[in-house]
Amino acid sequence: VIGVYPQGRRPVFKITMDDGASTEADDSHLWLYRLSEHTLKAKRRSIYGNQLRWRMATTPQIESFVSAGLKVRMPLTEPAAMTTARRYKCGLDPY
């Protein structure tokens, strides 16, 4: 974290994945996603064909896909790489 920019009070959503993992994000969080081709019928694949690639969407957009019955896929992430900056004391408790 290199800066804090007050945003006021914002709604926070809890997002739970199929494997039970969950996180919290606000409505402006950007998610990398793609729609699962298994939920798209063959004739609709041509309509949604461009959505089978990775795209970005906000939390409410992802919620609308799920509400419409579409399967949303999100990539697994790698663990965060630590840099040499961790050698320096910044005065903040990491927990």
Give the list of residues 6+ apart from residue 51 with CB closer than 8 angstroms, or none. 34, 35
pLDDT of residue 38: 58
Please state the rounded mean pLDDT for residues 47-58.
Answer: 71
**21-50 per-position pLDDT tens digit:** 899 999 999 999 988 765 555 555 555 555
DSSP class per residue in 25-86:
EETT-EEEEEE-GGGS-HHHHHHHGGGGS-EEEEHHHHHHHHHTT--EE----PPPPP-GGG
Question: What's the chain's Rg over C-alpha atoms?
Answer: 18
Model pLDDT for residues 4-17, shown as the tens digit of each residue:
888 888 889 998 88
